[in-house]
Amino acid sequence: MFSGLSKLADKSFVLGFLLPALIGVISFLALNRDLKSFSALFKDTMHDKGIADVTLLLLFVWTVAVLLMAGSHWMYRVLEGYAWPLTHPRLLKLQIARRQSQRQEIRNVYTALSEVHPALDELCRLSQENRLNRQRLLDQLNRKYLRLTRLHALQYPEEPSLVLPTRFGNVLRSFEMYAGTVYGVESIHTWPRLLAVIPKEYQSILADARAPVDFFVSLVFISFALGVTALMRGAACLFNAQADSAATWTFTIVAAIIFAFVRLFYLAALPSAVAWGETVKSAFDMYLPALASALGYELPETLEERRRFWDALANQFLYHEAIQPELWLKITKSPLKAGRPAKETAPAENGDEENDAADGAASDHGGAQIGPR
């Protein structure tokens, strides 16, 4: 029991939930310090007086942090656009238009590249200065094309039908679809099985990479709650004849500032989500062979067969349709220790998947920075 409680004090919990809870509680007390019931507690907290009050405050902060952790799944779904109020069709249209704009920009750069390439045949007839200018232009276009393509891959899923109503949702959807695009793996339901073979060290990396995302997501909702509180205080002052008329404007301005922070925290969550996604993708790259080994199978040699293998497992995970073991090569030697990626022995022509798995075997803990939820 108590060993389980100790997990609530690890680094990812402190950064992702406890710190936002502390910020939220102190901000709430500061916002309502003119009320007698909160004034004494706020003063005791700021001056380290009133041990009982401070202890009660810390327990309240801890409770809020635990509630944030318990509600994180719902908070993510709201920001991804699965739940109200971010499910409006207009938001989805905006994201589809933004994705199309990015793809059009990529096409324009690609067209410019294709127009410059034939001109290289004329380099021999150009002066040294013109030749260098032409080559410089080609390099700039090539770098821009690669940068835009990379940015698009990080921000949006490959299939237009998978676009979500929010930027945050599309960043998460893009790395959730990575395993399916590259390996044919259904990532959402494969992830819990993959965690079973990922070493504890890399699981810590995953948790540390998600913690900044949890931090900003928690602050989005805490700030929104504080903004609503400020508006309610302003409305109460407006209808209270004894209240100072300036208080209404003060609370209204404070509410506007807080809602601006809601937007800033949301935008700050986007690059953190991208970094988290890179570590999730690395986990699939390095430990999918270990998962196949733990299930008792050798990975097929060709990419097409591997996709069929993972598709059969996806049907088992999703629909409880048992995989037919006689169709797939069983492990004839003793399986590798759980958590260690299996070395690939497939021919080199099988492509990037084999190279990624071999890299994972050569470097257990990789240089990854951070899993689906």
Quick one: pLDDT band at residue 75, thresholds 50, 70, 90? very high
336 conformational bin, left if phi > 0, alpha if psi -120 to 50, beta if neither: beta
* Residue 185 contacts residue 179 (beta carbons within 8 Å): yes
Count of structural domains, the chain: 3
- Return the higher-pLDDT residue of 128 and 14: 14
53, 97: one domain: no
Of the residues 144, 164, 184, which one is the last residue of a structural domain?
A: 164
Residues for the chain: how many in total? Answer: 373
Residue 104 lies in a domain: yes
178 vs 6, residue with greater confidence: 178
For residue 346, being part of any structural domain is answered with yes
Residue 200 domain-assigned (yes or no): no
Residues 354 and 287 in one domain: yes
Domain assignment of residue 171, yes or no = no
- Has residue 218 been placed in a domain? no
Indicate whether 45 and 96 sit together in one domain: no
Amino acid at residue number 68: L
Do 312 and 349 reside in the same domain of the chain? yes
Residue at a domain's end among 164, 184, 208: 164
Return the SS3 of 10.
Answer: coil
- 94 and 59 part of one domain: no
Q: Do 149 and 118 fall within a single domain?
A: yes
pLDDT in tens, 209-263: 999 999 999 999 999 999 999 999 999 988 887 777 789 999 999 999 999 999 9
CB 294 within 8 A of CB 347: no
Q: Are residues 98 and 66 in the same domain?
A: no
Residues 344 and 296 in one domain: yes
Is the residue at 79 inside a domain?
no
- Residue 206's pLDDT is 97
- Find out whether 205 and 276 touch, Cβ atoms under 8 Å: no
**Helix runs in the chain, H state only:** 2-6, 11-13, 19-31, 36-46, 51-70, 72-80, 89-119, 128-155, 167-176, 178-183, 187-195, 200-238, 245-294, 303-319, 352-362
Angle, vertex CA 39, rays to CA 33 and CA 44, nearest 5: 120
Q: Is residue 184 part of a domain?
A: no
Q: How far is CA 191 from CA 2, 179, 188, in A?
A: 28, 10, 6
Q: What is the 3-state secondary structure (H, E, C) of 156-201?
A: CCCCHHHCCCCHHHHHHHHHHCHHHHHHCCCHHHHHHHHHCCCCHH
Among 164, 196, 231, residue at a domain's last position: 164
pLDDT value at residue 369: 39
Q: What pLDDT does 122 receive?
A: 61
Residues 66 and 136: beta-carbon distance below 8 Å: no
Task: Verify that 113 and 45 share a domain, yes or no.
Answer: no
344-369 confidence digits (pLDDT tens): 444 444 444 444 443 433 333 333 33
Residues 296 and 356 in one domain: yes
Residue range of the domain that includes 51: 9-70
**Domain-embedded: residue 224:** no
- Joined tokens for residue 122: 């004329």
Q: Is the model's pLDDT at 120 over the cut of 90?
A: no
49 and 98 housed in the same domain: no
Q: What gap in Å lies between CA 289 and CA 54, rounded to an integer?
A: 51
Q: How far apart are CA 176 and CA 247, in angstroms?
A: 47
